[in-house]
Structure 1
Amino acid sequence: MNFAGFNNDDNSSAGENHFSSVSAAMSIFSSPRLSLGLQQTNGEATRNGESFEVSVSRRSPESRSGSDNAEALSGDDDLDASDRPLKKKKRYHRHTPQQIQELESVFKECPHPDEKQRQDLSRRLNLDSRQVKFWFQNRRTQMKTQIERHENSLLRQENDKLRAENMSVREAIRNPMCGHCCGSAVVGEISLEEHQLRIENSRLKDELDRVCALAGKLLNDDAACSSALKLGVGSRNDYSGSGGFTLVPPGFEISSPFFSGLAPPVNRTTDVATGLDQKSLYLDLALSAMDELVKMAQTSEPLWIPSSKGKREMLNREEYEKNFTPCLGPKPDGFVSEASKEVGMAIINSLALVETLMDPERWAEMFPCMIARSSTSEIISSGMGGTRNGALHLMQAEIQLLSPLVPVRKVTFLRFCKQHAEDVWAVVDVSVDSISERRSSDSARTSLSCRRLPSGCLVQDMPNGYSKVTWVDHTEYEESNIHHLYRPLVSSGLAFGSKQWISALQRQCENLTILMSSTFPNRNKPTPISSMGKKSMLKLAQRMAQKFCRGVCASSSHKWSKLEIGNIDEDVRIMTRKNLDDSGEPPGILLSAATSVWIPVSPRRLFDFLRDELMRSEWDILSNGGPMQEMANIFKGQDHSNSVSLLRSTAMNANQSSMLILQETSIDASGATIVYAPVDIPAIHSVMSGADSSYVPLLPSGFAILPDGQGMEETGSLLTVAFQILVNSLPTAKLNVESIETVNNLISCTVQKIRAALRCDK
């Protein structure tokens, strides 16, 4: 049996000889367009909190007020600066992680605590009252500096964009090109055909301007929507000229002998009217959806009532049907509904979040574990006044859950953005299936398995640099396609609902804050890593996690082909593909296998067990039967369980060789992931020194952990196990049955070892 995934003889090709994952469509850390309003700081990361006074004192005096500056520098006493000895050394206090966590939680709710609150904090945290006061002053100053830097960055980007457009216009004026042959244009008289095309083009532009202006008016006058959009489309009957020619006078007929010998131009009036009619339907639907989203987000009881299964809120169906008219019509037969609402704080400003949601690439980068594919089909309106206010896009997306037992949700929807106040924005999604069905024949209609009712978020800027995000998710789907293990989780809204979106947003913003900081929190490990090396390691880990997600679900954006094998368990999905030229993973025949099982332990306990390097020999074949040693660790957030680590396996005898494993662990309120991959030793050393990590080949494996959604107590977990292996280094080779059976046995053996180690009843 030739199974390259288990060969440990060659350290220099660990990525080829062991487990790994599919290439990521996008890397958040490498994207120059995802700023999130978070710029690099000179001191500690926002969520780290250690030696915070030092980072503030190094800032430029222009970024803070004089009072804040004076107080921030008076860390030990209240003496006037002129009375302080010139050479007196500054004493710094290093807060404990528990103190930082408590201070951060209070800061989110109240960035300006009064004297009573500060005294209470000082007693609880065993800190001096002045230390608490100075910590909040420094925290506010740092947040203010970040916002100012982000605004400056946006202005620079806009300036660069205008400069580039100016240069391109100048170049086009100097070197005119022919639109037909792409050669140099010669100034001269235009033909009659071009004359007519210019007239038609001018008229269509006028119609487009009228529709855009009408859409803008609708944002402020919803009552005029229906009648205004049904205006007729007439021809332009004025004599004003443009571009050196005269428009067609009134009464001029296209069939006139003046145009004899020319092909009759196409009359586009009917097509334009049809397009306007469809856009009017889109605008009506978007405005109705926005109104419903805002009301659902701002209303509590009796519309939202406490759930019997926990602290979540559930939608009161009777109250909803009483107050809202379904904008998509009645629920299809066989469909069930899920609805959820969640409120959270994220370290991102409202403008940056709105820009991220309106850009399909940045949206997928922000939610890499949830968005398998996204695209914009049509930009109906780009917004007013150079902003996203009034922007309306027709989009498509595939939303996934990390399990082969839950099908990918494919939706076509409108995404509408509107500014409700100075610092309050709303973005709503609503499916357009009802409009599409009205305009297509029965034979052309596609069977739908999911549709989004008005869903989205309200974003409000907070004074501490955070945003308060209220997320509402309301979906109807066909339940019969979902495995019975996941039906309680999906119906509760914990799989695709608001809590999942909020948790992913908070975790990703926290990761980017750490990445953009000049220093990184990490444990004292024997392997030193430079600041640039840590950034390269984080980028490599991000690509590894994306490849893992793309090897679990069968999205249309992935290049995997599903295999139907008779003797394989129906709950195990096995896919294969050939890699020919992707430098991010080894070339050859790749195999992906994944399954999901129920484990009778809580998600946190299962997560801690699987990420413990000392317990890895209980289930991981890569451990060579012995414990692993953690060589390096980089924290990615406030919870130190969110980290990237480098593990070394132990060689148990002379015939075995040690190897390095890159591992990323992430956990939040909605679930957890553990992703790992063997890495080439010389390559990872190069990455740790700050070199580019994009060339390092990876085939990751790992776990996705979700609560089972059965009740208030987290007594059970849904565990997804996924492996990716290289079965043959020759892309022209054929996949044999032995390799498929081996990887199936590997999954089964791994699940059995985990159950045995946790003493679970089978």
Structure 2
Amino acid sequence: MESGSLGGAGSGEDQDVSDPQRKKKRFHRHTARQIQELERVFKECPHPDEKQRLQLSRDLGLEPRQIKFWFQNRRTQMKAQHERSDNCMLRAENDKIRCENIAMREALKNVICPSCGGPPVGDDFYFDEHKLRMDNARLKDELERVSAIAAKYIGRPISHFTSIQSATISPLDLSMGSIGAHSLGGSSPSLNFDLLPGSSSSITTLPLQTTMGISEMEKSVMADVALGAMDEVMRLLQTDEPLWMKAADGRDILNLDGYERMFPRSSHFKNPDIRREASRDSCLVVMNGSALVDMFMEANKWMTLFPTIVSNCRTIEVITPGIAGTHNGSLQLMHMEMQLLSPLVSVREFYFLRCCQQINQGVWAIADVSFDFSQKDQFASLNARKLPSGCLIQDTTNGYCKVTLVEHVELEEKILTHRLYRDLVHSGMAFGAERWLATLTRMCERLACLMMTSTQTTEFGGVNASPDGKRSMMKLAQRMVSNFCVSISASNGHKWTTQSGLEDGVRVTINKSTDHSQPNGVVLSASTSIWLPVSSQDVFNFLRDERTRAQWDVLSNGNSVQEIAHIVNGSHPGNRISVLQPYNASHSNMLILQESCIDSSGLSLVIYTPIDMLSINMAMNGEDPTNILLLPSGFAILPDGRPSPGGGSASTSSGMSRSSGSLVTVAFQIHVTSFPNSKMNMESVNSISNLISTTVQHIKTALNCTGS
């Protein structure tokens, strides 16, 4: 039991035990300065540890025991105040319901039954006091449940909300202090994102079917959680020390001590079995701010913008729509799965809130924070949580914008990371802000190249390809890349199911495809990841070069290939879409469509698919490539995250970090049968596994690393 007396604003106990006959207590009343200092510390830390109590004892001239009792009593007082406030609010709500019921009873007295012309029967049932008590008990249980959720996220109970009657959602105002939100004014050019697969240029989205049973009170809690997340993200984005420190390689590292002092509720997440990843970075991208905000706030566009990171994303429900048909003030509940392109790295799954606020003209803020529900089974298996994260998007000049991004997550240590990827993942390079922005920069460059084709007609492989033709070719290649990334991911949101595990180093999955963009029937995908003692840049150059393709391409039967056409889609010379023609091929009408790309984080892709001459001609003539069948295979290459030999932080001429080796994921897809209900036989599984193993051996031989 907590003892002592509050003594007005707060007092500590000092008992006089010198006279055993007098069983009365003598209380010591604190001075105004002592109370003021104790109240100040209480606001920052209601549960001081022994070291903090000793420091206060020295500063204020009080005994540690007095300090301890004062804090105990202050916490008891706060708890009693909260309970009184809750009780008053519940009584007021009860009185309100009773008054409404009385008014309804009076109104029903005048109701005439349309069938018999008499009064309604059984109206007293609606005003049964026992029923009212049951309703009130139900409302109280609901209040306590939502209050627990609110306390978990925002550090205070539901009674601190402005009113329980505010459970009906109003447009979310995310203004923060003196920053102030300004209405959208003027107009700015935007890209035609209808060019992207699965996207729409309209901000208005179709209503989504909600299956989670989100109550109006839970929506109110979501709005308050989003406000707190937005405030925290803005401070993380705009504050350097003491929140952020510079690492040896120049990256921003979160100072956990400074973070927990600035955001005390973060101690709520302290757990020895939890690992945190926090990073911040910024860059300039070739896109105006409003267009980028539009892509971030629509799930399909956002997934297309980050195909190598986001394996699946959907908007569960729009909690609050934007103001005046814009994204300003929008709040959405979303589900996302994050991937690293390897079967050895677990998918990270999040349910999270995303809110958007226009700070002023040309400046937007977007904040994400995980949100789960009590008594919702689908959250039981989540292995990761997104702490307040987000970005600040600022228009600059000439169609560019500056993006500053914070990524902050916590993970359960039970998620084991394979030893090959441990350095890369634990360093934060696998899923950190640097990788997000490197991918964003590359994809914005790709979109800019796609938009440039609308103003000029250039020669494409000896043929004057129209702007529509080049646009169609780029859409086809983008769909090929997305299909490849999905086939590697172990995402729950896709129809691939595991057919064979990783016992032999190769994971085989199966998809019974009915998609018009893939061959109908059964498609097998096999993937594996290896480490090579060769830099990721050198591996990328080797795999994308058509002159060395015959050294590793098992299906080419030793025949070399020639590039007959290409489209440049980025500033790096390796970022291009190519059409390759095999020499001495048995099927002269078969070509290879290939896209190669690399970004500043060192991630690179070489993805290709066989394609017939007729399909290439259709795309080059500007026809819709949606129905062209694709079955892509290829490579995803990453630095291994280990320091370069000698301990230095060497870098390439393009600014990309160079490490001692690379991690290469090899993936193939094959069409097994056109009958979806056919039973799978192990012969097909063994064939695709052997195909991968042979390809890996050829690559190691060509790069002189057979012993790795």
Q: How does 1:653-732 map to 2 (within 5 A)?
A: 659-670=590-601, 671-711=603-643, 712=649, 713-732=658-677
Q: In the alignment, is the contact (CA less than 8 A) between 2:459 and 2:465 conserved in 1?
A: no
Please say if 1:397 is aligned against 2:336: yes
Q: Report the equivalent of 1:483.
A: 418
Q: Structure 2 counterpart of 1:538, which letter?
A: M
Aligned counterpart, 1:72 = none
Equivalent positions of 1:581-600 (< 5 A) are 581-600=514-533
Of structures 1 and 2, the one with the larger relative CO (CA 8 A, separation 6+) is 1
Q: 1:418 to 1:738 in 2, by over 3 A?
A: same
> CA shift at 1:554, angstroms?
1.5
Gaps of 5+ in 2: 1-85, 112-118, 143-163, 168-214, 644-648, 650-657
What's the CA shift for 1:708? 1.1
* Paired residue secondary structure (2:465): coil
RMSD between aligned alpha carbons?
A: 3.2
Amino acid at match of 1:595: T
Instruction: Describe the SS at the equivalent of 1:613.
Output: coil
* Distance in structure 2 (CA, Å) of the matches to 1:298 and 1:290: 12
**Is residue 2:691 matched to residue 1:741?**
no
8 Å CA contact 1:451, 1:475 repeated in 2: yes
Partner of 1:529: 465
How far the C-alpha of 1:499 sits from its partner, in A, is: 1.4
For 1:467, give the aligned amino acid.
C
Kindly report which structure 2 residues correspond to 1:496-535, keeping only aligned pairs within 5 A, or say none: 496-517=431-452, 518-519=454-455, 525-535=461-471
**Cα pair 1:666 1:673 within 8 Å, conserved:** yes
Distance 1:574 1:458 in 2: 41
Opposite residue 120 of structure 2, the aligned amino acid is S
Helix, strand or coil: the match of 1:719? Answer: strand
Q: How does 1:257-406 map to 2 (within 5 A)?
A: 258=111, 260-261=120-121, 270=139, 275=215, 277-308=217-248, 310-326=249-265, 329-406=268-345
Distance 1:422 1:602, change over 3 A: same
Query: For residue 691 of structure 2, what is the amino acid of its counterpart?
Result: L
Give how far 1:710 is off: 1.4
Partner of 2:190: none
Secondary structure at the residue paired with 1:706? strand
User: Is the Cα–Cα contact under 8 Å of residues 395 and 415 in structure 1 kept in the other structure?
Assistant: yes
Distance in 2 separating the partners of 1:547 and 1:560: 12
- Deviations 1:479-504, CA, capped at 9 Å, x for gaps: 43322221221222221111122122
Q: Whole-Å Cα distance in 1 between the matches of residues 442 and 89 of structure 2?
A: 43
- SS in structure 1 of the partner of residue 560 of structure 2: coil
Contact 1:650 1:658 in 2 (8 A): no
Task: Establish whether residue 564 from structure 1 lines up as the match of residue 504 from structure 2.
Answer: no
CA contact (8 A) 2:457 2:466 kept: no
- The answer on whether the counterparts of 1:702 and 1:723 sit within 8 Å (CA) in structure 2 is yes
Deviation by residue 1:506-527 (Cα, 9 ceiling, x = unmatched): 2222222221222569787445
Moved more, 535-544 or 296-305: 296-305
Task: Say if 2:592 and 2:611, in contact at 8 Å, map to a contact too.
Answer: yes
Cα distance in structure 2, aligned partners of 1:299 and 1:695: 50
Distance 1:279 1:536, change over 3 A: closer
Matches within 5 A, 1:65-104: none
SS of the equivalent of 1:416 reads: strand
Q: Distance in 1 between matches of 2:445 and 2:517?
A: 26
- 1:252 matched to 2:105? The reply is yes
State the shift of 1:262 in Å: 8.5
The SS at the match of 2:675 is: coil
Q: Which runs of 4+ in 1 moved over 6 A?
A: 226-231, 233-238, 262-269, 271-274, 520-524
| Partner amino acid, structure 2, of 1:286 | A
What is aligned with 1:415? 354
Separation in 1, partners of 2:459, 2:537: 22
CA distance in 2, matches of 1:609, 1:251: 80
* 1:610 correspondence with 2:550: no
Matched residue type, 2:239: T
Q: Which deviates more, 266-275 or 352-361?
A: 266-275
**1:207-218 to 2 correspondence within 5 Å?**
none
Compared with structure 1, are the counterparts of its residues 498 and 523 closer, same or farther at alpha carbon in structure 2 (3 Å cutoff)?
farther
TM-score normalised per structure 1: 0.63
SS of aligned partner of 1:597: strand
Tell me if structure 2 keeps the 8 A contact 1:450–1:478. yes
CA distance in 2, matches of 1:614, 1:724: 24
Report the secondary structure of 2:428's partner residue.
coil
Aligned pairs for 1:165-244 (under 5 A) are 232=93
1:555 to 466, 486, 491: 491
Q: In 2, Cα distance between the equivalents of 1:369 and 1:233?
A: 53
Relative to structure 1, the CA distance from residue 331 to residue 486 in structure 2 (aligned partners, 3 Å threshold; closer, same or farther) is farther
Q: Kindly indicate whether the alpha-carbon contact (under 8 Å) linking 2:260 and 2:267 is maintained by their aligned counterparts in 1.
A: no
CA distance, structure 2, for counterparts of residue 482 and residue 521 of structure 1: 49
- 1:46-73: CA deviations, max 9, x gaps? xxxxxxxxxxxxxxxxxxxxxxxxxxxx
Q: Is the 8 A contact 2:589 2:613 kept in 1?
A: no
- Distance change (3 Å), C-alpha of 1:624 and 1:321: same
**Change in 2 beyond 3 A, CA 1:643/1:253:** farther
Give distance in 1, aligned partners of 2:329 and 2:571.
36
* TM-score, structure 2 normalization: 0.67
SS across alignment from 2:228: helix
Q: Which residue of 2 aligns with 1:620?
A: 553
Secondary structure, aligned partner of 1:721: strand
Distance 1:564 1:461, change over 3 A: same
Report the CA distance shift for 1:253/1:449 in structure 2 as closer, same or farther (over 3 A). Answer: farther
Structure 1 portions without partners, runs of 5+: 1-225, 239-246
Counterpart selection for 1:428 from 347, 363, 367: 367
Q: Distance in 1 between matches of 2:94 and 2:439?
A: 46
Structure 2 CA distance for partners of 1:701 and 1:251, relative to 1, 3 Å: closer
CA deviations 1:399-433 (Å, max 9, x no partner) are 22211111111111111222223322111101113
Is 1:447 the counterpart of 2:362? The answer is no
Given that 2:457 and 2:465 are in contact with CA atoms closer than 8 Å, whether structure 1 keeps it comes out as no
CA contact (8 A) 2:554 2:691 kept: no
State how far apart, in whole Å, the 1-side matches of 2:88 and 2:469 are.
59
Give the Cα–Cα distance (whole angstroms) in 1 for the partners of residues 629 and 260 of structure 2. Answer: 53
Structure of larger gyration radius: 2
Distance 1:606 1:520 in 2: 34
